[in-house]
Amino acid sequence: MIESVASKPHTKASHSLLTETVPIDDHCTGDRWSAQNEALLARLIAIIAMGQAAHAIYILKELLPATPAFNNDDLRREASVRLTVQEDGTKPRTGYPRVQRDGFIFEAISWIAARQAHGPLVLLKDPHVSATSQGLDGLMIELADDKLKVIMTTIFEDKCSDNPRDTFRDKVIPSLLDRHQNKRSAELVATASVLLRMAGIDEAAAARLSAAVMDRNQRRYRAAFALTKKYDSREERAKLFKGYDALDGISKGQRVGASLIVSGKLREWFDALALQAITYLDELQSEEV
């Protein structure tokens, strides 16, 4: 059964995340995120897990209460599986390994943070709907008002790791260096082309504009980590993002180190947020008559 829920009366809601700029060092700038409304954040993640990121954009733009555009048994079931931890490979699947489950949730949070900070007019790749998807974590394109020029592209690397420093040094930097040296540009160009065409730009112009992702002068990098309060200081951020200047030939503002600061233990926080999202999916089922 499918039920449309988007037409119900709405009142204005708050943002789910608090986003702010914080200092790091002379080589990069910092973004700090924290949950301002965890219940709303969980609902948005549930909606994204249902494959409705496009509707989540509308919710964020209008500051509406988070309800899906439509409600369906199969979508809720898939979303619940996507938000559940299952470490073994038994069938039928009831969840995903923790690293994949938490990675999906964090990628969704990173996407929400970008939407909040940059508004609805930027072009932004949707989060991977599948918890097992690999590849480009995120790409954001900022266009001139007349849509005739790309002002900036931002490449995202989102990591939810128990060893953030090692992950940044050994995984994030090598991956971003590949992007910086245009070693994996076909994926960027293809993703940019799709985003531009979705924005109503014709095929010929989209092909021309997508070339901007190859230009390092118009490119920003954003490495984002989910972190405990232990890392919530300028000193700790500087330690974490040390070595960012390996991406040479660009300005400080083109290297962004983002931190989602959570309360308590990292994995327990993700467990609690996922449980809230699953509980909301169950509530949607009870409302479906």
Average pLDDT along the chain, 289 residues, taken 10 residues at a time: 42 78 97 96 97 92 89 94 91 91 96 89 84 75 90 96 97 96 91 93 93 93 98 98 97 98 97 98 76
Establish if 116 belongs to a structural domain: yes
Is 10 within the bounds of a domain? no
Longest dimension (CA), the chain: 59
Per-residue model confidence (pLDDT) at position 267 = 97
Q: Is residue 75 in a domain?
A: yes
**Is 41 part of a structural domain of the chain?**
yes
Respond yes or no on whether the N-terminal peptide bond of residue 9 is cis (omega within 30° of 0).
no
Residue bearing tokens 């079931």: 77
Amino acid at 60: L
Q: Is residue 5 part of a domain?
A: no
pLDDT at 16: 94
Domain count, the chain: 1
State the residue range of the domain holding 277: 15-287
Residue 236 lies in a domain: yes
What residue ranges in the chain does DSSP mark as E strands?
A: 2-4, 17-22, 29-35, 70-72, 123-124, 138-143, 150-159, 219-228, 255-262
H or E element that contains 236:
helix 234-240
Domain assignment present for residue 1? The answer is no
Do the domain assignments include residue 56? Answer: yes
